Structure 1
Amino acid sequence: MSAPGPPARTGKRATVHDIAAAAGVSRGTVSRVLNGGYVSVTARAAIERAIREVGYVPNTAARNLVMQRSQAVGFIVLEPHTLFLEDPNIGGIMLGANAALSAADYQMVNLVVDSERDTARITRYLSGGFVDGAIIVSARSHDPIIQVVGGLALPSVFVGHPRDLHPEIPYVGIDNLASAEEITRRLLATGRRRIGMIAAAVDRDSGADRLAGFQRALGPLFDESLVAEVPVYDFACGAKGMRTLLEREPELDGVFAAADSVAAGAMEALRESGHRVPQDIGVVGFDNSSWATRTRPHLSTVHQPADDIGSHAADMVLRQLRGDPIAERGLLLPSPVVWRDSA
């Protein structure tokens, strides 16, 4: 007579009682094994075999309810939905954060804020305890989300450094001002003197700092009329900003675009207008994203370590959740210039 096989699956979730019955032990003994407690080697082996037989899966939702934890961290992006898909840096930060959270057995929940309605909805979501912490990307000055997160005392970290940053929330990013200054000086060193900037997203810290770095590098050569402000870091804004600069200054010989996507749009507008890069106009960008090597010629730019930024941001949230001290108020990662052929 053959040995009996595992019980037929009925669609009902197996319970601790089912394991105890299959293993021939008490429910208390099963609970000790599931919670890492001590039992005899024989009992443990019987329980582990029974778990496989009955197809037991831990009820994480119930466990988290008892612990008052969701085991999830929100990844909040305060950008238009289209930019969330187009900007490789946001994707890199997201993947870096997700890898670190996954390794700690946390689920990442993506939350995109593109309107006042989104802000209200996500405010309710955060207040409802659906996430244990938050990583906040591209917060603008006086953004309502900053006040919400601060008021909830939710373990959080900013990617970037908003001017009105909540004093108890740490941040991780790069030195946008110093990096913008360095690449502008490199552009100046090629002999350019009528240099303009396509300044994107100046309503947040990254855009404002890149503009400030550009101005500092140029010093007395800075001409406010050669700054074309555009709302976001995208290709279309780059093309529009480049056309604006060409209309304002026919003798333009250099351009600093506030992001690689913006620079790619600028280079397309230059090609359409008959200008050669770099022979007529040198172009530099910022981010060292996939855009930088899709342009022809390849783009001189600043390297932004997006994956590392995301990983460090997730680590800061996890440390807060564990109750570990965070020594650094803010963390700035290296962002060197990568020089290629566009200037």
Structure 2
Amino acid sequence: MSSPEPPSKPGRRATVHDIAAAAGVSRGTVSRVLNGGYVSATARAAIERAIREVGYVPNTAARNLVMRRSQAVGFIVLEPHSLFLEDPNIGSIMLGANAALSAADYQMVNLVADSDRDTARITRYLSGGFVDGAIIVSARSHDPIIQVVGGLALPAAFVGHPRDLHPEIPYVGIDNLASAEEITRRLLATGRRRIGMIAAAVDRDSGADRLAGFQRALGRRFDEDLVAEVPLYDFACGAKGMRTLLEREPNLDGVFAASDAVAAGAIEALRDAGRAVPRDVGVVGFDDSSWANRTRPPLSTVHQPADQIGSHAADMVLRQLKGQPIPQRGLLLPSPVVWRASA
């Protein structure tokens, strides 16, 4: 029985010179093969065999330096670190974007901005040319990142539609206002009369539009005292907002929560207060995330196609990098109501 080959020793990186020597050809011939040029079939076979023998690995960093490309796209989330982990929508958007970028041989770099210091660091990173483009999630109006990306003319796409969006940067999302209005009307149709809202993240376009849709559905019945504003789309904010609404209106019989995580927190607070869902209070959410099937009863909600949003945002950036036109600067995907037992 033959003895196993000894493990390779760490040493210098194999080069084009090594391939040329092993194959018995010139460096120019090797370069033509590595760059997709024409050589004879015999020379190509010899070079491919030599590449395997010497263990050559292309120096992507050096090539990217020459090409002034990093082959990386930043995925920038302008949310607290805790929400990045808790909100399944962000994860689904990220995975959808990563799949599209990976198929195009681009690496995704995750950047989370949780503070002014993070924003300054990310600004330096973008300005340093470490990524070729950026996908930006949850930008607020007047967010410094918007100005930085616009000033650098960096190929980019927004998830969502900030009010002061740079006119040249495309975006993809859903019609939050119309979807919020539709699910609120569905809740009204169940016979609820005192309906409140836990309005999260109203400093972002998504949160502001969902509140506007709720108000439009109620019309003259809208009562601003039955709106509890909370900062984040998370479980704890939902529970806190629900407790606030119950203090203001003990006879509340319906609630629109601005996200599924918020709705889950609201259902927990209602249960603690001895209120049954949906018998005493009908609850609806937004996103159709994994939270929607974890609540008891399952949550009526709005379906947000998060993975498709991420994929489309990545495609918008890739098209810019290739110099291709973008069919729609503003793309809104369908977001139908999904009706379950919570209302």
Is residue 7–residue 54 contact of structure 1 (8 Å, CA) maintained in 2? no
Alignment of 1:105-254 (within 5 A): 105-254=105-254
Q: CA deviation at 1:63?
A: 0.2
Amino acid of the residue matched to residue 304 of structure 1? Answer: Q
- The answer to whether the aligner puts 1:276 opposite 2:276 as a matched pair is yes
- Measured in 2, the distance between the counterparts of 1:293 and 1:329 equals 34
Amino acid of the residue matched to residue 250 of structure 2? Answer: P
CA distance 1:8–1:43, change in 2 (3 Å): farther
CA distance 1:61–1:72, change in 2 (3 Å): same
Deviating above 3 A after TM superposition, structure 1's stretches of 4 or more consecutive aligned residues are 5-10
Q: CA deviation at 1:220?
A: 1.1
- Measured in 2, the distance between the counterparts of 1:71 and 1:217 equals 46
Which residue of the partner structure matches residue 264 of structure 1?
Answer: 264
Which residue of the partner structure matches residue 66 of structure 2?
Answer: 66
Is residue 177–residue 210 contact of structure 1 (8 Å, CA) maintained in 2? yes
Amino acid of the residue matched to residue 106 of structure 1? Answer: Y
Greater mean alpha carbon deviation, residues 5-14 or residues 119-128: 5-14
CA distance 1:36–1:9, change in 2 (3 Å): farther
Q: CA deviation at 1:327?
A: 2.7
- Measured in 1, the distance between the counterparts of 2:9 and 2:307 equals 43
Amino acid of the residue matched to residue 263 of structure 1? Answer: A
Is residue 7–residue 53 contact of structure 1 (8 Å, CA) maintained in 2? no
- Measured in 2, the distance between the counterparts of 1:74 and 1:89 equals 18
- The answer to whether the aligner puts 1:87 opposite 2:82 as a matched pair is no
CA deviations on 1:120-155 (whole Å, 9 max, x unpaired) are: 111111000000000000000000000000000000
C-alpha RMSD of matched pairs (Å): 1.4
CA deviations on 1:294-317 (whole Å, 9 max, x unpaired) are: 000000000000100000000000
Q: Find the residue that maps to 2:129 and give its secondary structure.
A: coil
- Measured in 2, the distance between the counterparts of 1:94 and 1:326 equals 21
- Measured in 2, the distance between the counterparts of 1:309 and 1:266 equals 27
Structure 2 length as normaliser, TM-score?
A: 0.98
- Measured in 1, the distance between the counterparts of 2:154 and 2:11 equals 38
Is residue 76–residue 137 contact of structure 1 (8 Å, CA) maintained in 2? yes
CA deviations on 1:195-236 (whole Å, 9 max, x unpaired) are: 000000000000000000000011111111000000000000
- Measured in 1, the distance between the counterparts of 2:77 and 2:45 equals 47
Is residue 146–residue 166 contact of structure 1 (8 Å, CA) maintained in 2? yes
Which residue of the partner structure matches residue 29 of structure 1?
Answer: 29
Which residue of the partner structure matches residue 78 of structure 1?
Answer: 78
CA deviations on 1:142-189 (whole Å, 9 max, x unpaired) are: 000000000000000000000000000000000000000000000001
- The answer to whether the aligner puts 1:342 opposite 2:332 as a matched pair is no
Amino acid of the residue matched to residue 163 of structure 2? Answer: R
Q: Find the residue that maps to 1:12 and give its secondary structure.
A: coil
CA deviations on 1:248-286 (whole Å, 9 max, x unpaired) are: 001100000000000000000000000000000000000
Greater mean alpha carbon deviation, residues 9-18 or residues 50-59: 9-18
Is residue 76–residue 112 contact of structure 1 (8 Å, CA) maintained in 2? yes
Which residue of the partner structure matches residue 308 of structure 2?
Answer: 308
- Measured in 2, the distance between the counterparts of 1:326 and 1:92 equals 23
- Measured in 2, the distance between the counterparts of 1:7 and 1:322 equals 42
Is residue 196–residue 226 contact of structure 1 (8 Å, CA) maintained in 2? yes
Is residue 137–residue 160 contact of structure 1 (8 Å, CA) maintained in 2? yes
Structure 1's unaligned 5+ residue stretches are: none
Is residue 72–residue 109 contact of structure 1 (8 Å, CA) maintained in 2? yes
CA deviations on 1:102-137 (whole Å, 9 max, x unpaired) are: 111111000000111111111111000000000000
Amino acid of the residue matched to residue 271 of structure 1? Answer: R
- The answer to whether the aligner puts 1:287 opposite 2:315 as a matched pair is no
Q: CA deviation at 1:11?
A: 2.2
CA deviations on 1:4-47 (whole Å, 9 max, x unpaired) are: x9996542111001001111110000000000000000000010
Q: Find the residue that maps to 2:96 and give its secondary structure.
A: helix
Q: How many residues align?
A: 340
- Measured in 1, the distance between the counterparts of 2:97 and 2:322 equals 17
- Measured in 1, the distance between the counterparts of 2:327 and 2:296 equals 44
Q: Find the residue that maps to 2:219 and give its secondary structure.
A: helix
Q: Find the residue that maps to 2:108 and give its secondary structure.
A: strand
Amino acid of the residue matched to residue 174 of structure 2? Answer: I
Q: Find the residue that maps to 1:30 and give its secondary structure.
A: helix
Amino acid of the residue matched to residue 334 of structure 2? Answer: P
